[in-house]
């Protein structure tokens, strides 16, 4: 068993304690969340917990079905949102959207009573956008060029996401993604709001929700639970 999987087993036990006998869970997308759900679902079954999952992508829908987690519609709130992250800063702010599901992930997370983020040790940095990490920005196709100009004026270097053969990448919502480079960010909340004010921008891959618990998966197979309430 690799060290990350070992750490995920411990995190799954911790997360299962946050889930009541009947609960709705928001399921983020990506390989880390998929692996966590595989570890979490047997614990929920063993505890006879009645859980419904709100999926944020087709990928996680398939994982949930395989794990025996029934899917339910999002009705404005979930008891717990479980997700991953592309980068996490010292204030537990996040860059997300590498998998293209940032819009649904942010909608679901905005209605969560609790938020649990799981990420490998290498995903942590002092400030967002260090080490060349780009911010995914979901944009309506009609605004792909005008948004590039406006993002550049805000200090960004946008690059449209493409598929391996050079075709445009479209999200499940029919939008494009501009992966945008910025200098390391001192005020993520302020940048998030500036980017969302650009006409045509649908959502921004900066997540500043609080309170939040972030599980850092250590390389030695252990984990740390970090919390922030403001």
Sheet holding 78-83, edge to edge: 50-55, 22-27, 78-83, 112-120, 212-217, 223-228
- Phi, psi of 112, deg, nearest 5: -90, 135
Which residues are known to be catalytic? 105
Give me the long-range contacts of 209-214 (CB less than 8 A, separation at least 24).
209/109, 209/110, 209/112, 209/115, 210/92, 211/114, 211/115, 212/92, 212/115, 212/117, 213/114, 213/115, 213/116, 213/117, 214/85, 214/88, 214/92, 214/116, 214/117, 214/118, 214/119
Lookup result for tokens 């942010």: 106
The CA radius of gyration of the chain, in Å to the nearest whole number, is 17
Angle between helices 31-46 and 3-18 (to 10 degrees): 50
Helices (H), the chain: 3-18, 31-46, 58-67, 102-110, 144-153, 188-196
């Amino acid at each position: 068993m690799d060290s990350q999987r070992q750490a995920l087993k411990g995190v799954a036990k911790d997360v299962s304690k946050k889930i009541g006998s009947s609960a709705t869970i928001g399921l983020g997308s990506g390989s880390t969340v998929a692996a966590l759900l595989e570890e979490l679902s047997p614990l929920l079954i063993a505890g006879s917990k009645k859980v419904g999952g709100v999926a944020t992508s087709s990928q996680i829908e398939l994982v949930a079905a395989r794990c025996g987690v029934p899917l339910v519609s999002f009705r404005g709130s979930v008891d717990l949102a479980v997700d991953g992250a592309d980068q996490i800063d010292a204030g537990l702010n996040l860059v997300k959207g590498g998998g293209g599901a940032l819009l649904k992930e942010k909608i679901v997370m905005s209605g969560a009573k609790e938020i649990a983020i799981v990420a490998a040790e290498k995903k942590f940095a002092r400030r967002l956008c260090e080490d060349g990490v780009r911010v995914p920005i979901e944009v309506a196709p009609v605004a792909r060029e005008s948004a590039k100009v406006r993002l550049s004026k805000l200090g960004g270097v946008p690059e449209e996401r493409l598929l391996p053969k050079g075709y445009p990448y479209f999200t499940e919502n029919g939008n494009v993604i501009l992966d945008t480079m910025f200098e390391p960010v001192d005020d993520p909340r302020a940048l998030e709001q500036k980017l969302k004010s650009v006409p045509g921008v649908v959502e921004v891959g900066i997540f500043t929700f609080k309170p939040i618990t972030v599980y850092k998966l250590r390389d030695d197979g252990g984990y740390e639970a970090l919390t922030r309430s403001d």
